[in-house]
Each structure stands twice: as structure tokens, then as C-alpha cells.
Structure 1
Amino acid sequence: MTDEVSLKQFLDELNNYSEEESNAGGPVSSSAEDLGTLGRVLEIAGSGSQITLDPARLHALQSHRDPSVAMSGQVGSQVKMLVGSAWLIANVRTLRSGQDGTVLAAIDFLGEGQQNLQGGMSNFRRGVTRYPIPGAAVQPVTTEDLRAVFAADDSPHIEIGTVYPTDDIRGALYVDPMLSKHFAILGSTGTGKSTSVALILHRVSQLSPEGHIVMIDPHGEYSAAFKGCGELFNVDNLALPYWLMNFEEHCEVFLTTDGAERQRDADILAKCLLAARMKTKAAEQYGKVTVDSPIPYLLTDLSSILVNEMGKLDRAGDTTPFQRLKTKLDELRADPRYTFMFSGMMVSDSMGSFLAKLFRLPANGRPISIVDVSGVPSDITSVVVSVLARMVFDYAIWSRTEAQRPILLVCEEAHRYVPKDENANGQAVRKILERIAKEGRKYGVSLGLITQRPSDLAEGVLSQCGTIISMRLNNDRDQACVRAAMPEGARGFLDAIPALRNRECIACGEGVAIPIRVRFDDLEPEKRPASADPSFAALWRETGGEQEIINRTIKRWRGHGK
């Protein structure tokens, strides 16, 4: 049916069918007024089907007082069809001109709801039981219909904004499906991503004030947003014990060589590190101790063991790897930038108190920990993030026999830690975040990935996220990456991603009933992150006090050791 004659003949038959159906008292509209028929079903092909629309009818409805009806037939809007006693809701994905002046639209079915006595819809659910047959009438969707579609059920949920194009229908995220299957928040710089992340975490915290959320903040912008309802950690108060690192993380910090030399250095470090862990009293009460066991040890012990092992060697040439390790160890102990991790001669077993304050156990009404790693030296930032992420995962594994305390780990700038380049630095953090993405939900660990460059994320990690919240993405590769990760029914929404306004998003997946386009709520100023773009025009008009600004800045700069 590709040639002009056969298509026209088919459409004539549809029009005849329409008149017969109208005379017979066909399907009723879902609103009090009769909005009529927009067009007909042309082809049914599973999730992606085709309908034909009457352009004159579409044009006439554009001035309708109901914004949902006025949007009828546009890309990203919804239409409905009656099959038996059920209304099928479909999303318009593409539009093109037909050969006889009609409009041909590709649609994706979203779900179905029962027709009620007034002709409206209730009990909407995802998925389709029965498909319409070619020739079935296509009708516009009203705001009342959308209210039934987006109405949140009794499951725990948070409201994040208003569903487009309506003015008052609330967009909801279902907390359990969103967190149990992981989620990702994507958006180019300047789209309001940080404020939207803060909004979602604030709403989750309000719903669960005794929850357990750990957020890795690489720019130090979220401390301002959560100072009232969270615990804030940075290099001044984090006090991350170095002995919590496993062997792989030790290697990333201590080893400075590559290839065969690196393997030799690693073998020496493994032997000496195990001896240092075994030397402490804490090791005596545990059976099998390995290089990975989070048992406290003294840096002085590790240093003296390195010297002793070096003394056992016959030829002077063999001491080079020992000297390298000892030199690096001495550097870490002497450099004030690493004080937050490698501090003090005495070591106490602070693992319990560290986990309690980091994981908010108990939360005491402050369920979120913001870990500001902006002050961490760049060469060990990935190791610090690796230790924190691994603590979350390992705690979940070893506490399986206890009362469960699920933990949400939120990772901002995720493409830094799980990059597409498999040869990039920071393999330890990459491995643990990939493992959490694949296995975390079995143990009650949820992962929230936030990134402006989804195309730079390791393949497979984004696809592990059951809920994707995408703000505007300007890059073609990023858009293609999101398109590949989103479910089939959301493809029509994807075309709107480059055209989204600031603080608008497309949400799809497990956390929403059906894919939705949402305008985020405004967040109170005191709950916003410190991520606003400066106004060059306004700030460049200000003057005065420059020398004092420079002096204070230099003092902070030098005092921080960076």
C-alpha cells in the first residue's frame, strides 16, 4: 500500500468507517465535550505503530483551552484509542506528510486504562493487553486523561515538578523502583542539573528522614544545599583511615612505575603490607588476615618492615624497588595535603565510628552525607572515591545477616570515575562502581550516577540504571548514548531532549509510571547548591577592595597546601 492510489482508497474506506461508527453511536470522548476524531490507526507493529491524522482537525484544536488537547498530534504529545472497554494511550514519536494531504505519525504505546461510566479513564497501567485494529479511531488526550495516567498510587513517591504541557498535574518518582534498580541524572552544563539533583535528594530526605545517603561531591557545591539536613565532610574533618584501603588501592597510591617494574614493586608491597597488618594486636583476634583486610597498621611498621626486607638482600642493585616504596611512603607522611588520610603516628581502630558517621547509622534526622572531595589532591581523588564506594558495598555484603539498612551512593561527575577508556587511571574506583551497578541491588546498595557526558561513561553502566532522568544534552554522541539506554516506549520523548528548557527533563524507566516530560519545581534559595553561573556583565561593574580580596585569597591558597 505504498502507491498514491491504494493509500487514497484505504483512507476513503476509513472515512466511510468513521461515518458508520458515528451513526452507530461509536466510542465516547473522555471529556464532557465531544472532541471528535483526530484520525485513524493505519498500521500496528508492536510498540511502534502508525496512525494517519487530519491536519485540519489538528489545526482547529490548537486554540483549545485544554493545553493537552491543544498539543494533540505534536511530537511528544499523547493520543488515545478505545479497544473494548480500555483506553490505549500512545506517544507520538514522528510526523511526516502523507501523499494525500494527511499527516502520518509513528506512535509508541505507553499503556492502558479502563473506560469509566463518563467515558473517561481510570486505573492506568503500563503495557498493552489488546492492540487496536487498523481503522480504529484516534482521539485527543485531555488533561483529565493525563491526570488519570500520571496519578501517583499509594506507593512511596516524591513529587519533583509539573508534567508538560499541563499546569497542575504533578510528576512523581516512585522511590523503591528508582533506588532498587539505580538511576542516572544527565544534562549538559548550565541546564540546572545540580539544582535538580539537590531537589530530588531533598525530597527523598524529607520522605525518609532516617535514610542513609552518601554523596560524592567533586566540586564542593552541595554543602551549601544540605547544611540544614545533612552531615558535611571535607579534607578538614573526613579523617579517612589509610588502612581501610585494600591492596589494589594501596598500589594506586604507593606505586610509581609501570610494566614489569610495577609488578615487582607490587609483590614487595603485598609482602610488607601483610606483615604490617599481622603485626598489630587487632590481627590476633581474627583468623585469616589478608592484604585486603581492613585491619589497622602503623605506617612506621610498614616503613621498618621495608627497611628490614631491604637489609636481607645480597646485591645493592636489588634495593631499588624498596627505596622507591619507602621514598613514596615518606612523601605521603610528610606532605600536609595528605593529612586527612595519612595523619599521626598512633592508629586507633576507628572503623566503626567512621562507618557510623559516614552512613548515617543512625541518621538522627540528617540522612545524607556530603563528601566534598574538591580539596583532595588530584592524584589520589579516585582512590578516595574508591575507598568510600567500596566501604558502602562491602558493608552491605558483610551485614546481610543483620537488620537491613539500604544505602544510596550518589556519584556526581560519574564519567570521571567510570570512564569509557579502560586504560585510564583509577581502575580500582572503576571496578567497584561497575560492580555496584551490576550487583548492588542484591545487597541493598543503590547507585545514583550524575554526569554531563554520558558518552564518556563506560559502556554498560548507564544501561544498568533502571531510571534515567535526562535534561538537555547538546552533544550528538551524548544523545545517541541516552537513546540506546532508554526503553523503547520513550523514543518519542528523546527527540525533545535537545529542545528542553533549563530545569526540564525527560524521566523514563522503573521510577515513573510512563515516560514523562517534567518541569522541575523551584527550590528554596537556602536549599540550592553553590553552582550558579556568575553574571559577567553585573560583576564586572563592581569595583573596590581588590587588594584585600587578593591577600585573603592567597592566604587561603597557601594555607591549604594546594
Structure 2
Amino acid sequence: MNMQGFDRTGGGHAGEMVASRPAPAHGRPSECAVEPIGIVLEISGAGSKIALDLNRLTECAQDADPSVAMSGQVGCQIKIRVANGWLLASVRTQKKDAKIPGGILADADFLGEGEEERLTGRIHGFRRGVTLYPIPGALVYPATSEDLRQIYASDGRSSVQIGNVYPTKDIRAGLYVDALLGKHFALLGSTGTGKSTSAALILHRICDHAPEGHIIMIDPHGEYSAAFRTNGVILDVSNLQMPYWLMNFEEHCEILLTSRGDDRQLDSEILGKCLLEARSKSRLAEQLGKITVDSPIPYLLSDLGIIINNAMGKLDKGHTSAPYLRIKNKLEELKTDPRYQFLFSGMLVGDTMTEFISKVFRLPSFGRPISIIDVSGVPSEITTTVVAVLSRLVFDYAVWSREETTRPILLVCEEAHRYVPNEKNADGSSVGRILSRIAKEGRKYGISLGLITQRPSDLAEGVLSQCGTIISMRLNNDRDQAFVRAAMPEGARGFLDSIPALRNRECIICGEGVSIPMRVSFDDLAEQRRPASADPSFTQLWNSSGGEEETVARTVQRWRAQGR
């Protein structure tokens, strides 16, 4: 393929010889950038097939501009001449084709379009989407760093900067906060790719941008406490003090019922009647009049135990005492188990719902907009229920506060695949249902959902597709890659091929939160703002000794006390 045969005006086909080139002016890009590197062969709705000149790509590879130097590579940006403007596209595939002597056949996906600056030839006024398509024979040029600087520049919307656009060193990558949070987002990445640190970086940037915000993060491993001590509130089993009576009937069943099958159905009917009676004994219930078994009305555990006992003693109950004993014994077990004290405390029951919601939801935030809910100390058998209660409170509060001034809330779930599993791994727990509902309906009520996971293919079907912005770090598993590929828009397909090859703390971002899909190198985060997620150095730790007996003794003491 001979590039000298291209029409430099971009209007003709190969073979229509026009060798003129605009004279370089001050501020113009390099020679490599003003010469075409290929020609459009075929057009479709979302992209095109182009022929790239191998000789021109070799010339461009030596250019000082890193964007020009990467011209033609998979995942890079190119621009196509259309009338008096430019169409930006991303190269998705490359292959040698015998029909194109000295050339490469490539597929490119359209990203958006912009006008041409008269003096420099650069793109300006860039906007996503395509209104004017090129025709076969249109010329293909390298996109320069100055082009990308214009394209990635903020369009005036509120944004936070999180890193640099690859392959440049100084073009900043920004996330549009309202678009990111208004339509949910997902952060994906295999273990060891820097996912936790990147999540902390994004949340820190949002907290700095909106110090009076309202963010709740479910932290299953206790990683994020160290990162947000100065600008957040850390809540764990020692200070969470979550009132048990905030649980609805379904959540009570998950904690108090141990039976399965037909026995569980019977036990749930008994618990429902007894729980409603216990709630009805409250003075608050008397003031409200009619209540349901789900109403967040305080009640005494001792009252519930007495009501179950009395129901068991009735002669007309119609069945044996076994179901009553099961519920009663489980209730007594939970009341005496020290691991459950954060939920079933022995204190007098008061109506602390307003105080609890204000504390957890950061209403007001007092300049500390994020609550880190460390559930690592919660007994594993009820962790999902605790997360369900917190998530449902977010949703219910948003629903019942519609007549008030809207206070949007961001709910972030680390290890999201544990709470919203796919059908294959689903256990029927309430947390999956409430988080799925938030994903589908939360935007109407001012709830934003942030999902962080290392196994996107284990997420419930459809949940990832509800996320308007996807931030994907390296994924090593083929199934995960395919799952993310299906959830991302077509224009990002060229970037998806680089997901397995991303370095640590690099990502592909596409969707509503960015102007166009981009590959980003995350900023470094100050030591005191990082989560405690660094991998241990076996070599270093195994070559030092001292104090092992004291360490074991202290660990055993905490172990026995079930404290942390």
C-alpha cells in the first residue's frame, strides 16, 4: 500500500493522487502527525475497517509524541477526516492481509467527533457519539497528545482527577462525579492488581471534592479503616451498636431460624406472630396504631421470649412444641454469645433509630463524609444479614425521605460477589435481593451503588449492566474477561483486549463517568491514605525473629475473648 497515492484532502479514494500538504505553522504537530497513516475501507454503524501503512507506522514509532508513537496499535486512538472535522476512533484489532501489500487490516470503533482548529489542525469541541460518518477512502491520521488533551479536558462538569491517560505522562484522567455516582459504578480487578488502593484513591478524591457528602462502605476485611481515619468514621463490632429491632421479618428469620424445608415454613409462621405481638407491646406502637411485622419498632428480647413461651404452652396450638423450642433456644444462644453483643446488647432498649441512621449515614457529616463499616469481626454466619440490614436501611430511608431535601447516599460494597451472587451461587439471602433492587431502582431515590469485586462473573446477572461506569483493572480469568466484555459498550471493545495486559494500578474506564473510554495509570496515594491491603513479604518476615511467644499469647487471648 503506497501512502503517496492517498488524497491528502480526505475526500478521495486510494489511486486519486493529490500530494499537497498544508505548510507547517507554528504550534503544528510533527511531520508524522500531519501525514496520513491509513485509509478507510469499509464503514458500519459502530466502526470501520481501515488499511494501515506499515512504513508509516514504523516512522511514527520514532516520534517524540507518545500518542503518535503508538499509532495503529490495539487500544490506541486515531482520527479520521470527515468534512471539516475529525472523527475519533479506537483501534480494536490488527492483522496482516495479503490483499494490502505492505499494509495492515484493522478494525476501529468510533468514539466521538470534534471540529478542526484552523491553525493547528487539532481536534476541539469534542463530543461523544457520531453524527457524520466518513466514506470509504477517507484518510486516517494519528491522534496527537494535544488532540487527546482537548478530548479528555473537562467539559465544565464537576470532576475528580485520579491519574494520567495512557500513554501520556501529563494528560489528566478525570471522573465526572455526578455521572459516576448518578448511574452506579463498578471497580473490577484480580487480586494483587492494586484494586483496594485504587478504590481508596477514588473515594478519597470524592471525599475531598465533597466533604459534606454521605458515603457508606461495607469493608469485609478491615482493610479501609487505616485509610480513612482522618476523614471518615470507623464503625466495627466495638462501636456499631446496631439495634436488633431494626431488622425486618425476613432478616429475623435468617438469624433466628435454623430449620429447613417444611419445618422452616412452620417456624417462620410462629416467629412472625410472636414478633408482631412483641413489637405491638411498645408504647411507640400504641401511638402509631396499626403496625406490621416489618415495622422498625423497638421491642424487648425478653418480651419475645415470654411470648414464644406462652404460645408454646397453649393447648390449641395445633402442633408440637418443637418449633417453639428451636426458636427459643436460638434466641437464648444469641443473647448470651459475646460475638453478637454489637447486635443483641444487654442494655435497655430505647428508640435510637434516628441517632443510628445519623451516625451511619453521616447526616450531618461534619467534614467526615464516609462511614467505614468493618464487618470483619461479625460472625460469618450473620455477616450477610448485617450487610442486608444496612443496605435496606439506605434504601428505605431514601424512599421515605422523598418529601425532604434530597441527600444522595453512596453505598460501596467491597467483595460484592459475596453479597450479590449469580444464580449458581445464590443462597436465597435477603442481601442479594436488596442490593439488586438498589442497582435497579436506587437512582430514582438518590442512592448510588459502588461495587468492588475480583470475580465479576460471580455477580448476579444484570447487576453489572446496571452500572453506568465500569472501571476494570487486570482480570486474569477468561470468564471474568468475557463477562466484563459483555457489559461494556461497543466503543470500548478496543480497550478490552488490553485488560489481561494491564499493569498493576492501571485500568480501563468506560461509561457515563468519562468523556470517552480511556486507559488510565492511577495516581500514587500517600502512605497514610492507603488501605491495609499490602501483601506480606515472606522473605523479609521469615528472616527476622523475636517476640513470637508474646505474639501468640496475645493472639490466643483475643481469640478466646472473641475480641479484636
TM-score (structure 2 length as normaliser) = 0.95
Please report how far the alpha carbon of residue 287 of structure 1 lies from its aligned counterpart in structure 2 after TM superposition: 3.2
One-letter code aligned to 1:325: I
In structure 2, the residue matched to 1:42 is 41
The alpha-carbon distance between structure 1 residues 182 and 27, as it changes in their structure 2 partners (threshold 3 A), is farther
Please report how far the alpha carbon of residue 225 of structure 1 lies from its aligned counterpart in structure 2 after TM superposition: 0.1
Q: What aligned pairs does 1:304-343 form with structure 2 within 5 A after superposition?
A: 304-314=306-316, 318-343=320-345
Please report how far the alpha carbon of residue 11 of structure 1 lies from its aligned counterpart in structure 2 after TM superposition: 11
Q: What aligned pairs does 1:541-552 form with structure 2 within 5 A after superposition?
A: 541-552=543-554
- Greater alpha carbon shift after TM alignment, 332-341 vs 312-321: 312-321
Q: What aligned pairs does 1:216-255 form with structure 2 within 5 A after superposition?
A: 216-255=218-257
Alpha-carbon separation, structure 2, partners of 1:423 and 1:87: 48
Q: Deviations over 1:511-549 (max 9, x none)?
A: 000000000000000000000001111111111111111
Q: Deviations over 1:92-119 (max 9, x none)?
A: 0000001133100100000011111221
Alpha-carbon separation, structure 1, partners of 2:19 and 2:476: 50
Q: Pick from 209, 212, 226: which aligns with 1:210?
A: 212
Q: What aligned pairs does 1:102-501 form with structure 2 within 5 A after superposition?
A: 102-118=103-119, 119-314=121-316, 318-421=320-423, 424-425=426-427, 427-501=429-503
- Asked if 2 retains the 8 angstrom alpha-carbon contact of 1:244 and 1:387, the reply is yes
Please report how far the alpha carbon of residue 318 of structure 1 lies from its aligned counterpart in structure 2 after TM superposition: 1.2
Alpha-carbon separation, structure 2, partners of 1:418 and 1:283: 34
In structure 1, the residue matched to 2:536 is 534
Alpha-carbon separation, structure 1, partners of 2:226 and 2:153: 33
Please report how far the alpha carbon of residue 160 of structure 1 lies from its aligned counterpart in structure 2 after TM superposition: 0.3
Please report how far the alpha carbon of residue 32 of structure 1 lies from its aligned counterpart in structure 2 after TM superposition: 3.7
Alpha-carbon separation, structure 1, partners of 2:456 and 2:29: 45
The alpha-carbon distance between structure 1 residues 315 and 274, as it changes in their structure 2 partners (threshold 3 A), is closer
Please report how far the alpha carbon of residue 232 of structure 1 lies from its aligned counterpart in structure 2 after TM superposition: 0.3
Alpha-carbon separation, structure 2, partners of 1:94 and 1:32: 26
- Greater alpha carbon shift after TM alignment, 423-432 vs 42-51: 423-432
Contiguous gaps of at least 5 residues in structure 2? none
Q: How many residues are treated as equivalent by the alignment?
A: 555
- Asked if 2 retains the 8 angstrom alpha-carbon contact of 1:383 and 1:426, the reply is no
Alpha-carbon separation, structure 2, partners of 1:352 and 1:78: 52
CA RMSD of aligned residues (A): 2.0
- Greater alpha carbon shift after TM alignment, 22-31 vs 396-405: 22-31
The alpha-carbon distance between structure 1 residues 198 and 10, as it changes in their structure 2 partners (threshold 3 A), is closer
Alpha-carbon separation, structure 2, partners of 1:372 and 1:178: 24
Percentage identity across paired residues of the two chains? 63
- Asked if 2 retains the 8 angstrom alpha-carbon contact of 1:31 and 1:142, the reply is no
Structure 1 SS opposite 2:510: strand
One-letter code aligned to 2:372: I
Contiguous gaps of at least 5 residues in structure 1? 1-7
Please report how far the alpha carbon of residue 424 of structure 1 lies from its aligned counterpart in structure 2 after TM superposition: 3.2
- Greater alpha carbon shift after TM alignment, 499-508 vs 150-159: 150-159
- Greater alpha carbon shift after TM alignment, 467-476 vs 78-87: 78-87
Please report how far the alpha carbon of residue 153 of structure 1 lies from its aligned counterpart in structure 2 after TM superposition: 1.9
Structure 1 SS opposite 2:288: coil
The alpha-carbon distance between structure 1 residues 86 and 554, as it changes in their structure 2 partners (threshold 3 A), is same
Please report how far the alpha carbon of residue 345 of structure 1 lies from its aligned counterpart in structure 2 after TM superposition: 4.9
- Asked if 1 retains the 8 angstrom alpha-carbon contact of 2:50 and 2:105, the reply is yes
Alpha-carbon separation, structure 2, partners of 1:28 and 1:481: 47
Alpha-carbon separation, structure 1, partners of 2:285 and 2:4: 82
Structure 1 SS opposite 2:31: coil
- Asked if 2 retains the 8 angstrom alpha-carbon contact of 1:14 and 1:40, the reply is no
Please report how far the alpha carbon of residue 9 of structure 1 lies from its aligned counterpart in structure 2 after TM superposition: 12
One-letter code aligned to 2:110: F
Alpha-carbon separation, structure 2, partners of 1:321 and 1:452: 41
In structure 2, the residue matched to 1:101 is 102
TM-score (structure 1 length as normaliser) = 0.96
The alpha-carbon distance between structure 1 residues 71 and 325, as it changes in their structure 2 partners (threshold 3 A), is same
Structure 2 SS opposite 1:184: strand
- Asked if 2 retains the 8 angstrom alpha-carbon contact of 1:38 and 1:57, the reply is yes
Please report how far the alpha carbon of residue 258 of structure 1 lies from its aligned counterpart in structure 2 after TM superposition: 1.0
Structure 2 SS opposite 1:388: helix
- Asked if 2 retains the 8 angstrom alpha-carbon contact of 1:252 and 1:426, the reply is no
Please report how far the alpha carbon of residue 422 of structure 1 lies from its aligned counterpart in structure 2 after TM superposition: 5.8
One-letter code aligned to 1:39: G
Structure 2 SS opposite 1:129: coil
Alpha-carbon separation, structure 2, partners of 1:108 and 1:54: 19
- Asked if 2 retains the 8 angstrom alpha-carbon contact of 1:313 and 1:319, the reply is no
One-letter code aligned to 1:105: A
Please report how far the alpha carbon of residue 85 of structure 1 lies from its aligned counterpart in structure 2 after TM superposition: 1.6
One-letter code aligned to 1:33: S
Q: What aligned pairs does 1:499-514 form with structure 2 within 5 A after superposition?
A: 499-514=501-516
- Greater alpha carbon shift after TM alignment, 32-41 vs 206-215: 32-41
- Asked if 1 retains the 8 angstrom alpha-carbon contact of 2:408 and 2:447, the reply is yes
In structure 2, the residue matched to 1:3 is none
Alpha-carbon separation, structure 1, partners of 2:530 and 2:249: 39
Structure 1 SS opposite 2:437: helix
Please report how far the alpha carbon of residue 311 of structure 1 lies from its aligned counterpart in structure 2 after TM superposition: 1.1
Alpha-carbon separation, structure 1, partners of 2:256 and 2:310: 18
Q: Does 1:75 align with 2:77?
A: no
- Greater alpha carbon shift after TM alignment, 548-557 vs 238-247: 548-557
The alpha-carbon distance between structure 1 residues 345 and 233, as it changes in their structure 2 partners (threshold 3 A), is closer
Alpha-carbon separation, structure 1, partners of 2:68 and 2:224: 40
- Asked if 2 retains the 8 angstrom alpha-carbon contact of 1:246 and 1:291, the reply is yes
- Greater alpha carbon shift after TM alignment, 185-194 vs 24-33: 24-33
Alpha-carbon separation, structure 1, partners of 2:157 and 2:17: 40
